[in-house]
Structure 1
């Protein structure tokens, strides 16, 4: 008899959803494994702590991409959450589902049951929206969503600039009108605390269920097999190695770690596995392939006056804000420093937004400062210009046959020239908006990529030299109905019994959004698929 009915590898966004939903049946025994630790640190609870959390190795898999010629042989940081809650515990908390066409595209690729109308109920089931329950939003789900508190963030000035520039406005980019400039929405609860997947789904009541076991600091090394069937996992925990069996194993370790674990277990491209001396159990050629990421370009302006959020980062003001957040869950550290999000079409003929612009009245690397000891951060306005539907696909592969060696990640960022051209059009659109009177009055001059860069060739060179990513990896174990797909649409690994995948790696294409909302939906739908309720 197996030790558990289900073993979930990875307590990230989807893993936390699965642990809660599968353990709702008291007859089912569930084990949730997480390589990282707990999530009680203030960096992981305070909304404005996310930039600190991203840079703290104890909370992350501190991964870097491999150098590639088309981006100047730079290594790009790609940290992933290594803590209960996964990347939902360290991310920027934006909650944007993407356009309905993103999910209809999955359906049209053969993934029946994954169209927009199919997945909307799972989006709604996951959330308690600040808007209240309605046709597009849930009113009693685990994840609390809040509108960004916009005091002092110049939201109205930016809204007017988008209107003056001729772009549409929307009050709800997850609702009927999914295009244009709208208010920022984040996973923060009414007490001003981050609503990570762990805090939302693994409440004290859920953790107390006798049929749910959660192990942190438990590193899964490989899968166990009984004949041709996955029968469990090998886990390092508490200084010892354990073999734990299950009726079914669900990998929810993320777009890098899920394919790594599959390949270390003999499931992947045959030639690559043999290079590392790994016995091949199933030749799955596309495991680790088809990697998708959202490229990002930063647009930064020097502020005309010292009125940006940098004022809040002087140590004494910051200390008072942190205390206010701790006591009452209010104040500038209880939300996000974002003036709003714009989902725009900048390419002729596209049927949905292809660029996202997130704007903030603060430099992205701004930090606390101490008068007389450290210089203050510059007063700046920052916009992240994100390419929503990249044509370039990368891949990841093993560095060695050890789970402790980080995988090699080849982003192939900007590998397709059309991706560069779309980002250029995105930059031109953002410059146009920031040139409108309500914004121009706030700006002194462009710092990055630099006002002198005006020709297509100059801008394209700057994009290749400066572009990064938004930490949205997806697609490395994609589902589909073609012979190359790793998963079937019910998330089973092709040709391998007893194994499913539920995380961002299943995506056949990447949604035009910050993908945490989509991964919550995947967790909710995966639970129904596993229980036979979908």
Structure 2
């Protein structure tokens, strides 16, 4: 058995790295971080451009899939989550996105008191070192590098002009005064390298003698005695181990792993646990419920002129730019293939955007090429349509009492008619946008769904056959004051326990209208603040 620690953090993802690093700032606190994945030393984990390779090869992914989804042609949809130190922050697309301020005000109205936007904003500022410097909206001294994207291309300028013609504002800061419109998002990069939670928060803390980081350590069970976590069990190198918890256990596994571990430990809906072969310890029916995800449907258009990306991934040019990046941190590998994002409303009366478009100057299956050996893929303008506030709700449940068995993930994606209605609307809206000058100079014939896919029925069939997720699962350990539906209190304490908290995207009461990495970091900051304040 490993010697005991004051604080044991289970999961080294976006929030877990923050919690462990912040708690270890107190030299008198002994902190252990357990991460199931390996360390994050691979060079590709640091190169921003390489995120596409990481996603395509699943090199650092849990390999989870949903159950067959009834409203998506019974397809099992990939449920990607990073399996590496830093979690999904080590493999994501690096967009720094907080969502709309109203999203957090809604949390407070749903029972997460103390989590309104003006109450969480100081923790966003605390975490970041933004290229703009300090302001009401941004911090300049935090560990997390937030950089300006280097993508002022003709295509980006055309997208902004077309967006203005469609009545949208152009914004250079989605996290500032104008969270709606068309523009380029900030990126979680620093000095040309990925600023994952592990690189940003853990690396500066590694030399602290009171912080221990153990990778390839899969947590399998929390041992509770009368509501108190006394030990955490984990497996490393096929050897079962356990560690004593002196003060608190903080669960940071994410929206799939956190409820899974709670249920394996006997915390959840009693009848469901018994059916899976687990003896209930604490009846908490909200565990694993309230799963929310952004549905996504892609579009592709032939390029009328070179978009600039394909030529740069010719093998010799890419090798040369990769060498330059390794020496200087600058150049093509320090970028991501992104032309713009657009947040807009499907109806003018809405208080916040309900739709997003992610526009890229490349095909989703673009590949490295070289003349005479491998031909390049045709140039494609890609648009990803996203519903920001879906009504469909899923769940995470136990498959069995075996910790090695994957959880049962049911998104129920597109179950709600309004979700598919919004995706269909967004496809048509973007079709109109690409016909608007000067964007029409870049986008030619529609490749998929295809210009002949026009009727509601045909578009719905396409959406149900191709829909995936934006990989932003939340909500399965939601915050609130009512233990009949909520799993954790507004201070992130698991209801009915004495020293157990959850700190990750699973605690979000509802899905934000943006990407979830930056909010997960903020949640980690708040958790550490609660713990150090004794709340």
Query: Who is 1:237 aligned against?
Result: 236
Query: Who is 2:34 aligned against?
Result: 33
CA offset at residue 533 of structure 1? 6.9
For these two proteins, the number of residue pairs brought into alignment is 532
Query: Who is 2:102 aligned against?
Result: 101
Query: Who is 1:506 aligned against?
Result: 507
Query: Who is 1:17 aligned against?
Result: 18
Distance 1:58 1:383 in 2: 25
Query: Who is 1:140 aligned against?
Result: 141
Query: Who is 1:223 aligned against?
Result: 222
Instruction: Tell me if structure 1 keeps the 8 A contact 2:155–2:307.
Output: no
Q: Give the SS at the match of 1:437.
A: coil
Moved more, 405-414 or 504-513: 405-414
Q: Which blocks of at least 5 consecutive residues in structure 2 are unaligned?
A: none
Query: Who is 1:417 aligned against?
Result: 417
Instruction: Tell me if structure 2 keeps the 8 A contact 1:148–1:185.
Output: yes
Distance 2:202 2:363 in 1: 34
Q: Deviations over 1:302-355 (max 9, x none)?
A: 101344411112111111121121111111111111112111111243210101
Distance 2:129 2:260 in 1: 34
Distance 2:193 2:300 in 1: 29
Query: Who is 1:50 aligned against?
Result: 51
Query: Who is 1:82 aligned against?
Result: 83
Counterparts of 1:457-472 in structure 2, within 5 Å, are 457-472=457-472
Query: Who is 1:316 aligned against?
Result: 316
CA offset at residue 227 of structure 1? 3.4
Distance 1:51 1:441 in 2: 27
Q: Deviations over 1:471-510 (max 9, x none)?
A: 1000011111233111111111111222110000000001
Q: Deviations over 1:231-286 (max 9, x none)?
A: 12011124422221112111001110111111111111112211121111011112
Query: Who is 2:454 aligned against?
Result: 454
Counterparts of 1:125-204 in structure 2, within 5 Å, are 125-152=126-153, 154-189=155-190, 191-203=191-203
Counterparts of 1:277-288 in structure 2, within 5 Å, are 277-288=277-288
Query: Who is 1:364 aligned against?
Result: 364
Distance 2:67 2:234 in 1: 28
Query: Who is 1:390 aligned against?
Result: 390
Q: Deviations over 1:200-252 (max 9, x none)?
A: 0012x411111111000111110112333111201112442222111211100
Q: Give the SS at the match of 1:312.
A: helix
CA offset at residue 13 of structure 1? 0.5
Query: Who is 2:213 aligned against?
Result: 214
Distance 1:334 1:367 in 2: 18
Query: Who is 2:264 aligned against?
Result: 264
Q: Give the SS at the match of 1:202.
A: helix
- 4+ residue runs of structure 1 moved beyond 3 angstroms? 55-58
CA offset at residue 456 of structure 1? 2.2
Instruction: Tell me if structure 1 keeps the 8 A contact 2:478–2:507.
Output: yes
Tell me whether 1:439 sits opposite 2:439 in the alignment: yes
CA offset at residue 409 of structure 1? 0.8
Distance 1:475 1:533 in 2: 25
Moved more, 517-526 or 147-156: 147-156
Instruction: Tell me if structure 1 keeps the 8 A contact 2:173–2:185.
Output: no
Q: Which TM-score applies when normalising by structure 1?
A: 0.97
Q: Which TM-score applies when normalising by structure 2?
A: 0.97
Instruction: Tell me if structure 1 keeps the 8 A contact 2:292–2:394.
Output: yes
Distance 2:290 2:200 in 1: 31
Instruction: Tell me if structure 2 keeps the 8 A contact 1:153–1:339.
Output: no
Distance 1:65 1:253 in 2: 17
Distance 1:371 1:73 in 2: 41
Could you say what the CA RMSD is over the residues aligned between the two structures, in angstroms?
A: 1.5
Query: Who is 1:337 aligned against?
Result: 337
Instruction: Tell me if structure 2 keeps the 8 A contact 1:42–1:49.
Output: no
Q: Which blocks of at least 5 consecutive residues in structure 1 are unaligned?
A: none
Instruction: Tell me if structure 2 keeps the 8 A contact 1:60–1:82.
Output: yes
Distance 1:147 1:341 in 2: 14
Moved more, 65-74 or 29-38: 65-74
